[in-house]
Amino acid sequence: MNSLTVTPLSIALGAQISGVDITQPLNLEDRDAIEQALLRLSVLFLRDQPINPRQQARFAANFGDLHIHPIYPNVPEQPEVLILDTAVTDVRDNAVWHTDVTFLPTPALGAVLSAKLLPAFGGDTLWASGIAAYEALSEPFKRLLDGLTATHDFIKSFPLERFGTSAQDLARWEQARQKNPPLSHPVVRTHPVSGRKSLFVSDGFTTRINELEPAESEAILKLLFAHATRPESTIRWRWQENDVAFWDNRVTQHYAVDDYRPQRRVMHRATILGDVPF
């Protein structure tokens, strides 16, 4: 008998999952139940899941192929799992509202984040629902946005002055920049499974709306960045060690609160590749 339970945490997004051990291979019933919960609630939280990198990659791979990040360090024996360690890497780019790797032609379907070492206080993460934000817009404004595209640029969150400070880092940065030139995605994205519409711009990577004049683009993006992250469209998670979060990157953005320095924070992330936004 399936013991997996889904407890919603807010109207806009978020649920806690219990009754499943993701350190073990998932059975098909649990895998499908988790996927359906993700489609409905966009971000899922699981307590007390002491997964190692191999187990984390295995869990994430239930939902798609995994991405290897071009900048962040990874676990040597499991390169699909990147390491966010404040003692090693400048992670200030996570303290801005962003949707992961939208600088790719096929941005992430989702990501699985595991808490390994936490500060005594601080270090929460917030998620915002692009679906809730879009649905809260007026009908005339929706009509304005539908059909527009926006440029997403790798260097907005990974500038040379912060990620090219050594010869090795510079070589990595230049290779990543060459492989990831600026590209365009719809301002309003349609979820490929649910069919629901979502805002698909974020302060982390979106630089301009292509069809508008620069001043118009700047004004509209400023409005959208603020609107998409209104408290009514967000949820905040206070981490405990061995917590796991799994979110639908197609219809959310998130913000890792940088309020714990000089304490250390270590997280592992496995990123699941998605498809071309439309």
Q: What is the DSSP string of 117-150?
A: E--SS---EEEEEHHHHHHTS-HHHHHHHTT-EE
Spatial strand order of the sheet with 149-152 comes to 183-186, 149-152, 206-209
Q: Are 96 and 204 in contact (CB under 8 A)?
A: yes
CA gap 177, 215 in Å, rounded: 27
Q: Residues with catalytic annotation?
A: 98, 100, 254, 269
Q: Are 187 and 225 in contact (CB under 8 A)?
A: no
* 255, β-bridge pairs: 126
Amino acid present at 54 = R
Helix, strand, or coil (residue 80): strand
